[in-house]
């Protein structure tokens, strides 16, 4: 079924009415690391993998050359927005763009960096399609980005030994910008299916050269390092998924129910990369929450009690601050800069965001027979 631009906006309004006014876009060491990522397969004994590795100085130097994150108007000038009380759940737009919820395919080795990046790009792809772009949703194949990040980025700029497993957020971000991302459909058409064995192989040797041309069709044009909680919030509220890479961990398996959702509590540290694809500043308690989507097995975390996907959970602002501390969190765009969404419909001034009642009325008007 095809929807008009107005119908897409109405559906987006029904999914989370407080954000209907936002149009959404995207494309789509020398020492071994100390961080350990724990993966518990359903039918296998516990397996430990090295996942996220903090970027060495050379990759941090590259990160410093990337544009500073800011939301801008059509003239390129920074825009002030009041996003504090919005409730934005980008996975719902992925559902709409994909025609259903993506299956939770768990990582099988220390390739979390490529999964975290893929999740962020899925979120922003969904937003682009909901905004009316004539674009077909494409699921991203993580092993290509993992191998490219390790062999074509890390190995080129880091003098010394590659970590046995894992990568950094900066390396996979640079890989997505320089080499592009491979779609799942293109990978399968070329005869490849996801497995930890394949990811490990490409992580050691690099992806096959014949896949470079396919991935080059989907290069990310702008990569920006996000360094503050407000930047993460504003990225989500303008339709840009964020990938976070840090030592945030919950090995103590502490989960609480707050404001109608499952909230994860930091109980320790491990090196891991995940996707941030939601923000909610409208909770009854006044707490601000961010949704984290993980890449483990569906039952690795408690089942959600809201509409969020399996293997996801919410965290509070202090947790986001901890995740940002290493300086390896990223937002992505399909063109230069991060424009505010639909400036022609909603003046870019503080408190210009439409409320739930207006959004719901808009949906009724557009979809009325």
* DSSP letters spanning 55-89: PPHHHHHHHHTSPBP-EE-TTS-B-----TT-EEE
Residue 179 CA to its chain's centroid (Å): 18
Q: Is residue 7 part of a domain?
A: no
Rg (the chain; Cα; Å): 19
Scan for tokens 């499952």, then name that residue: 262
Q: Is residue 180 part of a domain?
A: yes
Q: Is residue 359 part of a domain?
A: no
Which whole-number Å values give the CA distances from 1 to 18, 24, 203, in the listed order?
Answer: 25, 21, 39
Scan for tokens 């993460």, then name that residue: 232
Closest CA to 28 of 116, 144, 133: 133
Domain with residue 232: its CATH number is: 3.90.70.10
Which whole-number Å values give the CA distances from 38 to 18, 51, 108, 169, in the listed order?
Answer: 37, 9, 11, 18
* Residues 208, 172: Cα–Cα separation, whole Å: 17
* Residues 194, 204: Cα–Cα separation, whole Å: 16
Measure the CA angle with vertex 342, ends 69 and 12; round to 5°.
Answer: 100
Closest CA to 288 of 261, 327, 315: 315
pLDDT at 83: 93
- According to DSSP H, which parts of the chain are helical? 5-15, 57-64, 90-98, 112-130, 142-147, 155-157, 169-178, 184-189, 196-205, 212-216, 229-237, 317-324, 356-367
Domains in the chain: how many in total? 1
pLDDT at 17: 39
Q: Is residue 139 part of a domain?
A: yes
pLDDT tens for the chain, residues 1 to 369: 444 544 444 444 444 434 433 333 332 322 333 333 333 333 333 344 459 998 888 888 888 888 888 888 878 888 888 999 999 999 998 998 899 999 999 999 999 999 999 999 999 887 777 767 777 889 999 999 999 999 999 988 775 677 888 999 999 999 999 999 999 999 999 999 999 999 999 999 999 999 999 999 989 888 899 999 999 999 998 888 999 999 999 988 999 999 999 999 999 998 999 999 999 999 999 999 999 999 999 988 999 999 999 999 999 999 999 999 999 999 987 634 455 543 332 232 223 333 434 433 333 322 222
Measure the CA angle with vertex 124, ends 118 and 128; round to 5°.
Answer: 135
* Residues 208, 342: Cα–Cα separation, whole Å: 40
Measure the CA angle with vertex 247, ends 117 and 143; round to 5°.
Answer: 30
Q: Is residue 40 part of a domain?
A: no
Q: Is residue 171 part of a domain?
A: yes
Output the CA torsion 105→263→290→355 (10° steps).
110
Q: Is residue 103 part of a domain?
A: yes
Q: Is residue 46 part of a domain?
A: no
pLDDT at 338: 57
* Residues 244, 14: Cα–Cα separation, whole Å: 28
Could you tell me which residues come within 8 angstroms of residue 77 by beta carbon, excluding any fewer than 6 positions away?
none
Parent domain of 69? 21-35+64-353
Name the token pair of 110: 């220390």
* Residues 151, 148: Cα–Cα separation, whole Å: 5
pLDDT at 356: 35
Name the token pair of 35: 């961080």
Entry pTM: 0.81
């Amino acid at each position: 079924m095809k929807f008009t631009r107005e119908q897409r906006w109405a559906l987006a309004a029904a999914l989370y009415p407080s954000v209907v006014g936002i149009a959404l876009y995207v494309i789509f060491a020398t020492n071994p690391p100390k961080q350990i990522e724990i993966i518990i397969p359903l039918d296998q004994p516990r397996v430990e993998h090295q996942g996220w590795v903090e970027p060495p100085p050379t990759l941090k130097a590259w990160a410093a050359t990337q544009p500073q994150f800011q939301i801008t108007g059509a003239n390129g000038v920074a825009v002030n927005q009041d996003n504090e009380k919005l409730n934005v759940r980008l996975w719902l737009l992925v559902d709409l763009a994909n025609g259903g919820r993506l299956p939770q395919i768990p990582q099988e080795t220390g390739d979390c960096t490529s999964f975290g990046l893929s999740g962020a790009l899925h979120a922003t792809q969904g937003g682009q399609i909901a905004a009316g772009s004539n674009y077909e949703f494409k699921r991203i194949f993580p092993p290509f980005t993992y191998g490219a990040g390790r062999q074509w980025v890390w190995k080129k700029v880091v003098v010394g030994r590659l970590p046995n497993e894992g990568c950094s957020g900066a390396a996979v971000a640079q890989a997505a910008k320089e080499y592009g991302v491979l779609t799942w459909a293109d990978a399968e058409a070329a005869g490849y299916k996801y497995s930890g064995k394949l990811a490990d192989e490409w992580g050691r040797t690099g992806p096959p050269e014949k896949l470079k041309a396919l991935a080059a069709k989907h290069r990310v044009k702008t990569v920006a390092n996000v360094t503050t909680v407000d930047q993460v919030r504003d990225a989500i509220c303008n339709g840009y998924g964020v990938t976070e890479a840090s030592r945030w961990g919950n090995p103590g398996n502490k989960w609480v129910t707050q404001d109608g959702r499952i909230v994860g509590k930091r109980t320790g540290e491990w090196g891991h990369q995940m996707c941030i694809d939601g923000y909610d500043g409208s909770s009854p308690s006044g707490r601000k929450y961010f949704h984290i989507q993980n890449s483990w097995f569906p039952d690795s975390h408690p089942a959600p009690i809201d509409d969020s996907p399996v293997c996801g959970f919410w965290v509070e602002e202090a947790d986001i601050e901890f995740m940002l501390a290493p300086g390896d969190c990223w937002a992505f765009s399909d063109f230069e800069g991060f424009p505010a969404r639909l400036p022609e419909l909603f003046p870019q001034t503080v408190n210009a965001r439409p409320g739930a009642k207006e959004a719901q009325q808009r949906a009724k008007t557009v979809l009325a027979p």
